[in-house]
Amino acid sequence: MSTPHIEAKKGDIAKTVLLPGDPLRAKFIADNFLEDVKQFNAVRNMFGYTGKYKGKEISVMGTGMGIPSIGIYSYELINEYGVENLIRIGSAGAYSKDLDLYDVVIAMGSCSDSNFAHQFDLEGTFSAICDYDLLRKAVNVAEEKNIDVHVGNVFSADIFYNQKSEEWKKWEKMGVLAVEMESYGLYLTAKANNARALTILTISDSFHSDKQTTPEERQTSFTKMMEIALELGE
């Protein structure tokens, strides 16, 4: 079997899947953390792998950047391959001045300027939230590993280079911790298709300083969020 975007056979993908935006980060995780690794996807170079972490089966696959892209992959993983737990691990920009580079943020909720929710034709605004059990497990794992985590709202943007350069300050005033570009699409797709989802982010940029991480660091470091997410396999 296959889908328009994933060439895996039924049974190739574990019930829990880590979802970095960058397929090369998926390869990094497979190469450095998993055993008995099998690659299940290379369509459009959106690499996907299944292996074992501490004896438990888990998969990792890139999603690409943006809500449309993660909307495609999360929908097919849930509905064609029976994936139950979808855990995005990615980078984000800090809106909150309390966040430093490499801090870990867990997105309890996700705001957006996306139209992705229009498909559900709701008379009102749907609150995109993570799965509570996954959130609770992730916070417990972080405490056990002495990893500080910031849990709260994020902004899932459709635009990276926003011409309204001061727009982010309005979201900061509402207590939004950070900005990324996928969690909103993941949370809506998971809720609408009876799956569980969580987003764990590492701060790679800040709106309060010019400090930046390099693309190479973004691809290979950020291991704290990986270590938390890998423990969430069932």
Ligand X SMILES: Nc1nc(Cl)c2ncn([C@@H]3O[C@H](CO)[C@@H](O)[C@H]3O)c2n1
Active site residues: 205
List the x/- string, 20-49, binding to ligand X by CB under 6 A. -x----------------------------
How buried is 118 (Cβ within 10 angstroms: 0-12 exposed, 13-18 middle, 19+ buried)?
exposed
Q: Which of residues 165-194 bind ligand X (CB under 6 A)?
A: 179-182
Residue with tokens 């009102």: 124
Is 88 annotated in a binding site? The answer is: yes
Cα-Cα-Cα-Cα dihedral sign, residues 65, 171, 177, 138: negative
Nearest distance, CB of residue 160 and ligand X, angstroms:
4
Give the nearer residue to ligand X in terms of CB position, either 120 or 160. Answer: 160
Give the nearer residue to ligand X in terms of CB position, either 136 or 208. Answer: 208
Whether residue 32 contacts residue 71, with contact meaning beta carbons closer than 8 Å, is answered with no
Measured CA to CA, the distance from residue 99 to residue 226 in angstroms comes to 19
DSSP state of 99: -
109 DSSP β-pair partners: 129, 153
Is 182 annotated in a binding site? The answer is: yes
Which residue number has the CB closest to ligand X? Answer: 93
Whether residue 225 contacts residue 105, with contact meaning beta carbons closer than 8 Å, is answered with no
61 binds ligand X (CB under 6 A): no
Residue length, the chain? 234
Among 8, 26, 92, 232, binds ligand X (CB under 6 A): 92
205 binds ligand X (CB under 6 A): yes
Cα-Cα-Cα-Cα dihedral sign, residues 161, 167, 169, 173: negative
Give the nearer residue to ligand X in terms of CB position, either 20 or 51. Answer: 20
In angstroms, the first-to-last Cα distance of the chain is 25
Distance of CA 203 to the CA centre of its chain: 13
23-33 and 223-230 helices cross at what angle (nearest 10)? 70
Of the candidate spans 50-58, 90-98, 137-145, 189-197, the one that interacts with ligand X by CB under 6 A turns out to be: 90-98
103 binds ligand X (CB under 6 A): no
Q: Which of residues 210-229 bind ligand X (CB under 6 A)?
A: none
86 binds ligand X (CB under 6 A): no
Is 91 annotated in a binding site? The answer is: yes
Known binding site for phosphate: residues?
A: 21, 25, 44, 88-91
Annotated binding residues for a purine D-ribonucleoside: 5, 180-182, 204-205
Residues that bind ligand X (CB under 6 A): 21, 65, 90-93, 157, 160, 179-182, 204-205
